[in-house]
Amino acid sequence: MSDPSNHDSHHTSGDRHQEAGDDRIDPSKGGPDEREITAAQRRPDGNEGYPAPTHGQGSHERAVHGDRGEHDGRGGIHAGHEAMFRRRFFVSVVLSIPVLLYSEGLQRLLGFSAPAFPGSEWVSPLFATVIFAYGGVPFLRMAVPEVRAREPGMMTLVSMAITVAFTYSLATVVTPIGMDFFWELATLVDIMLLGHWIEMRSVRQASGALDELAALLPDTAERIGEDGSVEEVRVDDLRTGDLVLVRPGGSVPADGVVEDGDSDVNEAMVTGESKPVSKEGGDEVIAGTINGEGSLRVRVTAVGDDTALSGIMRLVAEAQSSKSRTQVLADRAAGWLFYAAIAAAAVTAVTWTVAVSFDVEVVERVVTVLVIACPHALGLAVPLVIAINTSLAAQNGMLVRDRIAMEEARKLDIVVFDKTGTLTRGEQGVVAVETVGGVDEDEALALTAAVEGDSEHVIARAIRTAAHERGLPLPEPTSFEAIKGRGVRATVDGETVHVGGPNLLVALDVEPAPELARFASEAGANAQTVVYLVREGEAVAAVALADVVREESRAAIEALHDLGVEVAMLTGDSEDVARAVASDLGIDTYFAEVLPEDKDSKIAELQSRGKRVAMVGDGVNDAPALTRANVGIAIGSGTDVAVESADVVLVQNDPRDVVGLIRLSRASYRKMQQNLVWAAGYNVFAIPLAAGVLAPWGILLSPAVGALLMSLSTVIVAVNAQTLRRTELAESSQSVTHDPSLAVDARPAG
């Protein structure tokens, strides 16, 4: 922007939804098969789809390969697993009833007897065998990839436990060596199936953001031919440059520009903007958004993988698949737990054999230790939080490119904002009007806007915009004339009216009234631009303009301070401008007159003081600083997700989303810690009990009770992770009110 004297010389010239995972989406282009590789499914060794052996989730896919009838492939891998485990659980529970009723051990324990009939002694063995084959074999299949990769995990432990129980129980049928474990085997399989069903349901729900995004695209589009005819074509057949018709209530089939029509478009699922956005000729529209009541003719600018929706889906998938440091730690802990379980089982076997000789009780202790040690809850603790975290972030317009950056956000000491276009709107606005001589403020603004009517200067546009926002009727000026270096002159209702800066007053030899002089002095102290309205040789009003501070900036900075995070600002503007903005918003530190190429050095300067720094910028001019920062945040990039220098892309230009990012990071980390403490604490407590440490006092855990405790820990971890959804991410927009004083001039020095 220019100073007032420069202003004096400016007048010289159909089907909205489809099933997620529709088969028309090519998996090679980010389709559902690829997208479903979540954080728990992507291995450090690159074997995607077959995960690290923390809880055997990748092995689920192996099991499905041998059971294709278990899911139709249309709802995604997790939905297929959920259906499979649900069905097998209910079938196995029904089959377990006769096993429990005719189990001698359970009859003795509970003091009842079942009706006897010829062959009733075979009820438990036969039904238990079916349960093992139908409900237990999937776990054996899922253990195969772990064994082949020499990375044993939960599936290996589960498989070992049920195999030992089943084999030993069959042996008791042939040889009377002790009590069988058929009822324990049945309940173990039932509880394991229940735990996996709950896990798959939780992961599927948490990963639903991708499915919801995929479902936004319609199957077909209405393409308009050169002769004006309309034909229905598949969305895949659209090409750049095609003209499509979007009817009221229809879904936009591809990114494009409106050529004709006007309507309100719902962009909430893509940008997070809750209110419909008005669209008319020349405005961009996004694939997957929902048209309102008007019809639009849209010229396609991007299709397929090039659309903003596809880019967002790729970012969400990348974020879900990237490993956090906490996830890596959990992976290692699960591996250690396997070897600890084997060691504990071996020690248990040796100790009990020495103490009471090798018998059924020894086998029971070993089986119980192996069951208790399953790192089910540990494997679920971090991946489920990550999935919910990514889903929440995407739903709130935060697109995470780097999972570690999301984790680092909780430790930030200072957030550095680029001023123009981030804290401010990057455009001039009227912030105050002062009048004298009985002139009404609205009258003065309308008259000024009318005289500025033919100018395209930014200050003239700002004045006209202010008058339009107030709904002021503008008088008709005549005899418009630009006065070089001074301002403009026009005739309104027979009176000569001038508009311009201080140089205009000098040229007209007009002395402003004390009120106007004081107003101009205060505005100058705040680095604001002042324009005068002179009517019939008398200055009757002054209008102050500045780069308007965003209404959300003050709330964002206050919230950051509440979180204990400092706020700094980078700007290329003068010292006066920077100081005015910093003082107005309560910013702790500011750097003025900083060239774009020097911004990263300021970030490094803060880091040299031992601070963890986040940089918030537009992702273009601020690329070096975004890269240098501990967390680079590109704000206001809209649906442009190709901001390679940023770790996180904020779709909307709202600085409060930075607060939401930090809150989500902190809340997610707390949930990870809580889940890991619960999972690890459970094993530390349960393994010694299963081994029989308290046996001298009559306290022993049976395999069934061990399985129940293990699955209970899984349920607790899953429920605890779901509470992350209650996190309040940002300040309520209702708390932000428009204050015209939130503005300062954005003029560069000189």
Helix (H, G, I), strand (E, B) or coil at 530: strand
d(CA 697, CA 702): 15
Query: Which span out of 48-52, 129-133, 345-349 was modeled with the highest average pLDDT?
Result: 129-133
**Residue 322: what pLDDT?**
52
pLDDT at 98: 92
Distance CA 638, CA 397 (A): 9
- Residue recorded with tokens 């403020």: 441
- Strands 613-617, 631-635: pairing is parallel
| Across 298-310, average pLDDT | 84
Rounded to whole angstroms, how far apart are CA atoms 709 and 371? Answer: 10
Least confident of 71-75, 446-450, 452-456: 71-75
As a whole number of angstroms, the longest Cα–Cα distance in the chain is 121
Number of domains in the chain: 3
Give the pLDDT of residue 596: 67
Residues 294 and 352 in one domain: no
Q: Tell me the DSSP string of 76-106.
A: -HHHHHHHHHHHHHHHHHHHHHHHHHT-HHH
Q: What is the pLDDT of residue 153?
A: 67
Q: Tell me the sheet residues that pair with 258.
A: 298
How many C-beta neighbours within 10 Å does residue 686 have? 21
Of 396, 255, 390, 227, the C-alpha closest to 316 is 390
Q: Which burial class, exposed, middle or buried, applies to 688 when counting CB atoms under 10 A from its CB (0-12, 13-18, 19+)?
A: middle
**pLDDT higher at 21 or 83:** 83
For 404, other C-beta atoms within 10 Å of its C-beta total 18
750's enclosing H/E stretch is none
Indicate the residue among 521, 548, 575 that finishes a domain: 548
Residue type, 638: G
**What CA–CA distance (Å, rounded) separates 467 from 489?**
19
Considering the domain architecture, whether residues 156 and 38 belong to the same structural domain is answered as yes
Confirm if 324 and 404 have CB atoms less than 8 A apart: yes
- Active-site pick, 242, 418, 547, 657: 418
Backbone angles phi, psi at 634, to 5 degrees: -90, 120
SS3 572: coil
pLDDT at 507: 87
Domain assignment of residue 172, yes or no: yes
For residues 456 and 439, what is the distance between their CA atoms, to the nearest angstrom? 26
The gap between the terminal CA atoms of the chain, to the nearest Å, is 10
User: 3-class SS at 74?
Assistant: coil
Judge whether 213 and 269 are in contact, CB under 8 Å: yes
CA dist., res. 347 & res. 353, Å (int): 10
* 55 and 197 together in one domain: yes
The SS3 of residue 166 is helix
- Quick one: pLDDT at residue 162? 82
Last residue of a domain, one of 548, 579, 614: 548
Transcribe 37-49 into DSSP letters: --TTT--TTS-TT
Phi then psi for residue 143, to 5 deg, are -80, -20
Q: Where are the beta strands (DSSP E) in 404-525?
A: 414-418, 424-435, 478-483, 487-492, 495-500
List pLDDT tens digits, range 249-282: 888 999 999 999 988 888 765 654 546 788 888 9
Residue 505 has pLDDT above 80, yes or no: yes
Q: How far apart are CA 85 and CA 441, in angstroms?
A: 71
Q: Yes or no: say if 425 and 461 are a contact pair by the CB < 8 Å rule.
A: no
Q: Are residues 56 and 168 in the same domain?
A: yes
Q: Does residue 233 sit in helix, strand or coil? A: strand
Q: Which of 548, 572, 591 is the last residue of a domain?
A: 548
**How far apart are the C-alpha atoms of 171 and 166, rounded to whole Å?**
9
**42/210 Cα distance (integer angstroms):** 17
Residue 417, in any domain of the structure? no
Rank 396-400, 408-412, 676-680, 693-697 by mean pLDDT and report only the highest. 408-412
Residue 738 domain flag: no
Residues 143 and 177 in one domain: yes
Query: In which residue are the tokens 């420069």 written?
Result: 6
Model confidence at 318, pLDDT cuts 50, 70, 90, reads: low
Asked if 24 and 234 touch (Cβ cutoff 8 Å), the reply is yes
Examine the domain organization and report whether 105 and 240 are in the same domain: no
Q: Which residues pair with 539 in a beta bridge?
A: 534
Is pLDDT of 76 > 80?
A: no
Query: Percent of the chain, pLDDT > 90?
Result: 20
Inside any domain, residue 451: yes
Bridging pattern class, strands 263-266 and 277-279: antiparallel
Scored b (16 or more CB within 10 A) or e, 262-278 reads ebebbbbbbbbbeebbe
172 — pLDDT class (breaks 50, 70, 90) = confident
Q: Dihedral (C-alpha) 665, 671, 675, 677: value to the nearest 10 degrees?
A: 90
Strand partners, 635: 650
Res. 727: pLDDT tops 70: yes
Nearest to 162 by CA among 374, 376, 375, 367: 367
φ, ψ at 66 (rounded to 5°): -90, 5
What pLDDT band is residue 334 in, cutting at 50, 70 and 90? Answer: low
CA atoms within 13 A on the CB side of 483: 21
Q: Quick one: 66 and 162 in the same domain?
A: yes
In this predicted structure, the answer to whether residue 583 has a pLDDT above a threshold of 80 is: yes
CATH of the domain at 471: 3.40.1110.10
Please name the amino acid found at residue 21: G
584-604 residues labelled b (16+ CB within 10 A) or e (exposed): bbebeebbbebebeebbebbe
* β-strand partners of 415: 567, 614
Residue with structure tokens 């397929």? 304
Mean pLDDT, the chain, as a whole number? 76
The most confident of 6-10, 220-224, 591-595, 647-651, by mean pLDDT: 220-224
SS3 call for 319 = helix
Six token digits for residue 372:
């208790």
- Least confident range of 117-126, 241-250, 523-532, 664-673: 523-532
- Statement: residue 635 has pLDDT above 70: yes
Tell me which of 271 and 230 has the higher pLDDT.
230
Higher-pLDDT residue of 665, 49: 665
Q: Are residues 49 and 182 in the same domain?
A: yes
Q: What would the DSSP string read from start to end of 247-292? A: -TTPBP-SEEEEEE--EEEE-HHHH---SPEEE-TT-EE-TT-EE-
Expressed as residue numbers, the domain containing 435 is 4-9+426-548
Q: How many CA atoms lie within 13 A of 379 on its CB side?
A: 31
Residue 199 falls inside a structural domain: yes
Active site residue 418: yes
Mean pLDDT of 88-114: 86
**Residue 636 in domain:** no
Task: Return the pLDDT at 66.
Answer: 37
Q: Please state the rounded mean pLDDT for residues 215-219.
A: 75
* Angle, helix 182-206 to helix 376-395, in steps of 10 degrees: 20
**pLDDT given for residue 606 in this prediction:** 94
Is residue 35 located within the same domain as residue 136?
Answer: yes
Q: What is the C-alpha to C-alpha distance for residues 513 and 631, in angstroms, rounded to an integer?
A: 52
Res 25: pLDDT: 29
The mean pLDDT of 91-107, rounded to a whole number, is 87
User: Are residues 258 and 339 located together in one domain of the fold?
Assistant: no
The CATH code of the domain that includes 283 is 2.70.150.10
Does residue 224 share a domain with residue 192?
no
Band of the pLDDT at 175, cuts 50, 70, 90? Answer: confident
| 90 and 186 share one domain | yes
How many Cα atoms within 13 Å fall on the side-chain side of residue 110?
10
161 belongs to a structural domain: yes
Confirm whether 41 is domain-assigned.
Answer: yes
